[in-house]
């Protein structure tokens, strides 16, 4: 049996809508198609015209130590905007994200990137195009410029960090600055997709709000952004939302 999922498609300026009210329940195979809604119509269009889709999960299954983490999961992630994957801990959100650039592989089904099985891509090219940024920013020895690479000053400005930080040792950054630096480092590789796993979970309220605004800006700039979060409030950032729930004991 599958995980329960719900999907919505919306425009990010619809700030006053009820969060639960925006979701549409998936069918018995955890696909996104349910009733005649804007969300369902979008998913149908994406399947009919793969040029509009960035990723597609087809009947994906991932096994864990105690049974499946994800089972018969199907969904399409559009090219445009920000897609949030939301749900409680243990629902398989991070697992689904890690499939996009083969940090993990499914035990069943297939994940498509621009219509092609992710396993058919050169792994280094796939991971250049689909950049991952995790919960806790990673810094390497050396300066901020050493960590970012490329045109470090321009990249720092893009993530709203002062160019004067370029010569600072990376391990002297605050957590919020380090997370922006991690985003700049990913942008240096000119990716098509940012895959963000709880990117604000280690931040205080002020830094969290700044990173959220930056993520929204990046999505508006033409990048496909896929963000895992357990915070319903962060769904307000998204154009498209997929909600997943853990498998019950009976479903396992």
Amino acid 167: pLDDT: 97
**pTM of the predicted protein model:** 0.82
pLDDT digits 0-9 by tens, 101-123: 999 999 999 999 999 999 999 99
Q: Which domains does the chain have, with CATH numbers?
A: 5-244 (3.40.50.300)
* CA–CA distance, 168 with 142 (Å, rounded to integer): 8
Amino acid 11: pLDDT: 40
Amino acid 215: pLDDT: 95
């Amino acid at each position: 049996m599958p995980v329960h999922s719900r999907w919505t498609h919306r425009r990010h300026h619809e700030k006053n809508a009820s969060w639960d009210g925006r979701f549409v329940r998936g069918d018995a195979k955890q696909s996104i198609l349910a009733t005649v809604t804007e969300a369902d119509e979008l998913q149908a269009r994406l399947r009919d015209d793969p040029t509009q889709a960035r990723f597609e999960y087809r009947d994906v299954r991932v096994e864990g130590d105690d049974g499946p983490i994800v089972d018969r999961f199907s969904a399409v992630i559009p090219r445009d905007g920000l897609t949030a994957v939301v749900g409680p801990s243990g629902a398989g959100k991070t697992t689904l994200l890690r499939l996009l650039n083969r940090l993990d592989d499914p035990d069943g089904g297939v994940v498509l990137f621009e219509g092609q099985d992710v396993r058919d891509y050169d792994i280094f090219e796939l991971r250049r195009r689909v950049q991952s940024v995790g919960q806790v920013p990673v810094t390497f020895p050396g300066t901020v410029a050493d960590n970012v690479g490329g045109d470090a000053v321009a990249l720092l400005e893009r993530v709203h960090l002062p160019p004067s930080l370029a010569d600072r040792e990376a391990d002297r950054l605050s957590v919020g600055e380090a997370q922006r630096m991690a985003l700049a480092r990913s942008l240096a590789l000119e990716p098509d997709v940012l895959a963000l796993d709880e990117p604000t979970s280690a931040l205080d309220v002020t830094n969290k709000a700044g990173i959220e605004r930056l993520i929204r800006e990046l999505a508006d700039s033409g990048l496909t952004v896929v963000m895992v979060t357990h915070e319903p409030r962060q769904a307000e950032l998204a154009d498209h939302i997929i909600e997943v729930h853990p498998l019950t004991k009976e479903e396992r």
